[in-house]
């Protein structure tokens, strides 16, 4: 969330910038500042009341130890009243703080100056495109047909056992998954990331820390009996490692990578673009997360962008990079690059990765800080990106590499798959 002081000092700017995200903050910002004023004044009165009570309590202690019982009892009457008053003030303060917090978590992150205006993905800014479009043979078919032709992914079986969007991968399909995961992890290790295997369920505090709660509550699977959420991305557990942590400047950059299954309810997204692997409830992803010094986070974002580009290059997939417009930018992000791979049989671009700088938005929620040179606590910056998400990569690989003889595996992957063709 945004820092209170920042909102106070840059009220007009906040309103103006959030408008790029199509968020009208004009009313809520005033409410927030007003609540904060109330919070301050209430705390001042409460502190003074408690201070007085503390003084009297000490006096009573002294009087008891010197045997002046009666005098002590007189003072007790006063402390009783102070106590009552303090309790009321405390209640009020709690209410105000809760109210304030409720409003604060509703404010999205402020977009970076480079973020273009716009409402939908049509307004995203194309910043890079590379790779040659595959020329498919006449009988080329989309990946869901290839999947059943070669018996490598079974969507119907998934529906039987679980439900739509939970496919089985089988034979070379399963081995291709495993190969991609290992390939992505190894590539990240080459770049000095530390590998983690995170829990797949998280508590509500973690959900708030990275911003899935309360914004995306309905998009996560929820295990009610234990009050836990299935992770929509490894970003959540991996970033929350640093919740309530104070780092040292020399700790930067922190570079973590994790493979995990991801679970998304995708409530409300029906109709087109959900066939086959295009949109699943459970999918696999390798995620890279960095914690960085505020001054270096945008430099780091570019590096992460290059790393992801390199993966797609090695997989020989034609791809393009877009800078998300305000309307397409997520609640928590300040700047996001989306990577899209061309899926030749579907004749469309599929999003395979998002890499984002959250600046201190998540860090503020998580209280993720570092000590600066002057010994003061400052909020760190968090970044993450998919490197990469499997299903659409698999879709593109199957479609783009199909031949009359079968589907050929790109050279970089063969040492992982240990086969060259799916046939």
Partner RNA sequence: GGAGAGUUGGCAGAGUGGUCGAAUGCGGUGGUCUUGAAAACCAUUGAUCCUUCACGGGAUCCAAGGGUUCGAAUCCCUUAUUCUCCGCCA
Residue ranges in contact with RNA by CB under 7 A = 39-41, 43-44, 46-48, 50-51, 53-54, 56-58, 60-61, 64-65, 76, 79-80, 83, 246, 369, 371, 375, 377
CB of 11 to RNA, least distance (A): 16
HEC assignment per residue over 227-295: CEEECCCCHHHHHHCCCCCEEEHHHCCEEEEEEEEEECCCCCCCCCCCCCCCCCCEEEEEEEEEEECHH
CB of 290 to RNA, least distance (A): 22
Q: Which is nearer to RNA, 96 or 236 (CB)?
A: 96
Q: Quick one: tokens of 194?
A: 């530390």
CB of 391 to RNA, least distance (A): 27
Q: Which of 277, 312, 283, 280 is nearest to 146 (CA)?
A: 277
In whole angstroms, give the CA distance from residue 206 to residue 228.
10
Q: Which is nearer to RNA, 364 or 400 (CB)?
A: 364
Q: Which of 301, 262, 327 is nearest to 382 (CA)?
A: 301
Pairing of β 254-263 and β 335-343:
unpaired
Q: Which of 244, 248, 255 is nearest to 297 (CA)?
A: 255
Q: Which is nearer to RNA, 39 or 279 (CB)?
A: 39
In whole angstroms, give the CA distance from residue 370 to residue 222.
33
Q: Chain centroid to CA 166: how far? A: 23
Q: Quick one: tokens of 321?
A: 């990079």
How many Cβ atoms from other residues are within 10 Å of residue 362's Cβ? 30
Give the DSSP letter of residue 337: E
Q: Which is nearer to RNA, 226 or 404 (CB)?
A: 226
CB of 408 to RNA, least distance (A): 38
CB of 362 to RNA, least distance (A): 17
Q: Which is nearer to RNA, 200 or 274 (CB)?
A: 200
Q: Which is nearer to RNA, 3 or 219 (CB)?
A: 3
CB of 241 to RNA, least distance (A): 15
CB of 63 to RNA, least distance (A): 9
Q: Which is nearer to RNA, 35 or 390 (CB)?
A: 35
């Amino acid at each position: 969330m945004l820092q209170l002081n920042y909102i106070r000092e840059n009220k007009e700017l906040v309103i103006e910038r959030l408008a790029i995200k199509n968020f009208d903050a004009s009313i809520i910002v005033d409410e927030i500042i007003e609540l904060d004023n109330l919070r301050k004044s209430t705390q001042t009165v409460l502190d003074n009341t408690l201070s007085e009570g503390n003084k009297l309590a000490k006096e009573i202690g002294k009087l008891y130890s010197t045997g002046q019982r009666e005098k002590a009892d007189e003072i007790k009457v006063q402390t009783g009243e102070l106590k009552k008053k303090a309790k009321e003030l405390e209640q009020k303060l709690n209410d105000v703080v809760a109210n304030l917090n409720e409003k604060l978590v509703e404010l999205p992150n402020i977009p970076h100056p480079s973020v273009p205006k716009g409402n939908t993905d049509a307004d995203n800014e194309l910043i890079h495109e590379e790779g040659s479009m595959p020329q498919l043979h006449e009988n080329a078919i989309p990946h869901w047909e290839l999947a059943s032709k070669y018996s490598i992914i079974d969507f119907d079986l998934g529906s039987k056992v679980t439900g739509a969007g939970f496919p089985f991968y089988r034979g070379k399909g399963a081995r291709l998954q495993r190969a991609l995961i290992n390939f992505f992890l190894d590539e990240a290790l080459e770049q000095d990331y530390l590998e983690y295997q995170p829990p797949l369920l998280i508590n509500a505090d973690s959900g708030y820390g990275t911003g899935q709660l309360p914004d995306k509550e309905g998009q996560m699977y929820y295990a009610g009996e234990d009050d836990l959420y299935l992770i929509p991305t490894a970003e959540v557990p991996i970033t929350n490692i640093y919740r309530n942590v104070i780092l040292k400047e020399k700790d930067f950059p922190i570079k973590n990578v994790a493979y995990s299954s991801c679970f998304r309810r995708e409530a409300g997204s029906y109709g087109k673009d959900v066939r086959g692997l295009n949109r699943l409830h459970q999918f696999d992803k390798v995620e890279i997360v960095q914690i960085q010094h505020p001054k270096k986070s945008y430099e780091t974002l570019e590096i992460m962008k290059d790393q992801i580009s390199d993966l797609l290059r090695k997989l020989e997939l034609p791809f393009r990079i877009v800078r998300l417009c305000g309307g397409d930018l997520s609640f928590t992000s300040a700047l996001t690059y989306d990577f899209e791979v061309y899926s030749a049989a579907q004749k469309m671009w599929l999003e395979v990765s998002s890499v984002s700088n959250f600046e201190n938005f998540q860090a503020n929620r998580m209280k993720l800080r570092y000590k600066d040179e002057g010994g003061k606590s400052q909020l760190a910056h968090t970044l993450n990106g998919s490197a990469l998400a499997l299903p659409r990569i698999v879709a593109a690989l199957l479609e783009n590499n199909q031949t009359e003889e079968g589907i050929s595996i790109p050279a970089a992957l063969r040492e992982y798959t240990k086969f060259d063709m799916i046939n």
